[in-house]
């Protein structure tokens, strides 16, 4: 009996020691884990924020460049007239203003007399933007604050050439306050604030309605609030970064900024740290739970295993939804996801993308190179569009994309065409890649996947027929 007692006692002692060691190791592991998670949350929040600001800065710059392109096309049309202030030209700028995002459009003669689309005339000969454009340059004015709606606008100007001589200027005003707010509205549920600042820290966009709503003191210069040497240096050297600042009320804020690449301006975005990290708050709850209820550690492990199993199942389901070559959604998943969106009667932009001359790539360079082209294009499409958009491959070299925000669809498409042209595949040597795109809008052009597919396919056919490397929008009267 005694012989059995001591081995059993030793076994129990060893078992208790093992349990205590396990619990202590687990506690240490949990402490290390949550410390690491806290650091990761901080780093990921910063990375996500600065990445968004850099992308939105590029997007804002792209939108301004697109409007410059519109004005250059208008200038070419205006140059065909003998009289800049002719009735036809007035009608032209009126139609132009109604079909673009510009708030006001004007023709300016060499003497600085500006005829606006509302037929008001005033002289702007003393304005810098007029003088620069008369020298044959594109120009962007200093910011002007409206006394009516307190929104900041800038004047975009381009010269009107005739026989290589500047015969006048055409310009349009653009609401940069509204554009800046629109770009960041979907970040952190609108808890942050975007603004544009010049190199000296002066705020170009001032949203007095926002300041009044949130009971903020009017800020004229960012450096007066954030007097950090690093910020001033970054602004001077046009660098993107993020800093942590403290308010007088001891509130922690993230300030992210990135160069706009126009007039040495910077795009800035400020948001409370708790809002930027809000999606990670569940980790703190787990930490408190584990620290308080160590006695339920075994149950927690079971829950964790169940969660891991569920996550693995979701991962397997995810793999079944993905096209293995391009890593975008496969045909079945693409159609299912798009139909779900359409069932909610959402306004969307439906694209069909087709690789131009893809058969010749396979014939001349081999199917392995063709697969590499599709793989690179799939990666490009995923990175170019937002996570809320749907990107799928439905077979061969044909892709489907559903853009949630139809207001920015065309600018995204124009930028995509350029990126595809710039895509380099080593094996293709000097072969230039391009894509053709057909576009349909929901619910205007259809409320089901097949309706939108049929109409977008008709628009794609028009793109192919008129030269490729472009896009066409479906029209109801198209034959």
pLDDT tens digits, one per residue of 75-100: 999 998 888 999 889 899 988 888 88
Which segment of 29-43, 248-262, 452-466 scores lowest on mean pLDDT? 29-43
Smallest CA-to-CA distance from 46 within 241, 259, 246, 278 is with 241
* Percentage of the chain lying above the pLDDT 70 cut: 78
Report the C-alpha gap between 342 and 473 in whole angstroms: 19
Provide the H-helix boundaries in 222-277: 222-225, 229-237, 273-276
From residue 442, alpha-carbon distances to 37, 39, 256, 329, 474 in Å are: 42, 43, 35, 20, 11
Phi/psi for 463 (5° steps) reads -60, -45
What is the reported pLDDT for 305? 46
Report the C-alpha gap between 244 and 279 in whole angstroms: 19
**What's the chain's average pLDDT?**
81
Side-chain half-sphere exposure of 64, counting CA atoms within 13 A: 26
Phi/psi for 412 (5° steps) reads -65, -40
Report the C-alpha gap between 352 and 459 in whole angstroms: 9
Average pLDDT over residues 366-377: 92
Q: Which residues contact 401 (CB under 8 A, 6 or more apart)?
A: 350, 351, 353, 381, 385, 389, 390, 391, 392
Which segment of 58-67, 111-120, 347-356, 453-462 scores lowest on mean pLDDT? 58-67
Length of the chain (residues): 479
Q: Name the helix (H) or strand (E) containing 6.
A: helix 2-78
Which segment of 61-65, 185-189, 224-228 scores lowest on mean pLDDT? 185-189
Smallest CA-to-CA distance from 355 within 461, 436, 418 is with 436
From residue 100, alpha-carbon distances to 63, 114, 440 in Å are: 11, 20, 20
From residue 424, alpha-carbon distances to 354, 366, 373, 382 in Å are: 18, 17, 9, 17
């Amino acid at each position: 009996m005694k012989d059995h007692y001591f081995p059993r006692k030793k076994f129990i002692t060893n078992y208790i020691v093992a349990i205590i060691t396990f619990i202590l190791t687990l506690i240490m592991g949990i402490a290390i884990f949550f410390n690491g998670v806290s650091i990761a949350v901080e780093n990921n929040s910063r990375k996500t924020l600065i990445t968004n600001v850099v992308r939105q800065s590029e997007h804002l710059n792209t939108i301004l460049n697109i409007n410059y392109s519109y004005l250059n096309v208008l200038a070419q049309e205006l140059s065909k007239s003998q009289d800049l202030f002719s009735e036809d030209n007035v009608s032209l700028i009126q139609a132009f203003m109604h079909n673009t995002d510009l708030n006001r459009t004007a023709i300016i003669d060499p003497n600085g007399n500006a005829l606006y689309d509302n037929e008001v005339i005033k002289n702007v000969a003393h304005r810098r933007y007029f003088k620069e454009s008369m020298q044959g340059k594109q120009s962007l004015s200093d910011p002007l604050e409206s006394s009516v709606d307190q929104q900041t606008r800038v004047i975009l100007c381009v010269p009107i050439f005739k026989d290589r001589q500047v015969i006048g200027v055409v310009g349009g005003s653009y609401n940069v306050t509204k554009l800046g707010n629109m770009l960041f509205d979907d970040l952190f549920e609108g808890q942050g604030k975007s603004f544009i600042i010049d190199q000296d820290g002066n705020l170009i966009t001032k949203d007095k309605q926002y300041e009044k709503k949130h009971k903020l003191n009017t800020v004229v210069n960012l450096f007066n609030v954030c007097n950090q040497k690093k910020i001033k240096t970054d602004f001077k050297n046009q660098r993107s970064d993020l800093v942590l600042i403290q308010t007088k009320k001891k509130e922690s804020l993230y300030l992210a900024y990135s160069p706009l690449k126009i007039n040495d301006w910077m795009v800035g975005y400020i948001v409370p740290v708790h809002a930027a990290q809000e999606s990670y708050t569940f980790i703190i709850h787990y930490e408190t739970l584990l620290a308080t209820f160590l006695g339920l550690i075994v149950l927690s492990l079971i829950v964790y295993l169940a969660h891991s199993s569920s996550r693995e199942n979701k991962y397997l389901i995810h793999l079944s939804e993905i096209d293995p070559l391009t890593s975008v959604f496969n045909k079945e998943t693409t159609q299912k996801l798009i139909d779900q969106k359409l069932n909610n009667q959402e306004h969307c932009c439906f694209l069909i993308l087709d690789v131009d001359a893809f058969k010749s790539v396979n014939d001349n360079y081999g199917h392995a190179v063709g697969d590499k082209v599709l793989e690179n294009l799939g990666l490009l499409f995923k990175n170019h569009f937002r996570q809320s958009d749907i990107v799928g491959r439905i077979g061969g070299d044909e892709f489907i994309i559903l853009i949630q925000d139809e207001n920015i669809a065309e600018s995204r498409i124009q930028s995509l065409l350029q990126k595809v042209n710039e895509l380099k595949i080593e094996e293709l040597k000097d072969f230039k890649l391009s894509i053709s795109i057909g576009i349909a809008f929901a619910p205007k052009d259809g409320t089901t996947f097949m309706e939108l597919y049929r109409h977008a396919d008709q628009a794609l056919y028009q793109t192919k027929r008129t030269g490729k490397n472009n896009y066409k929008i479906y029209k109801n009267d198209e034959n």
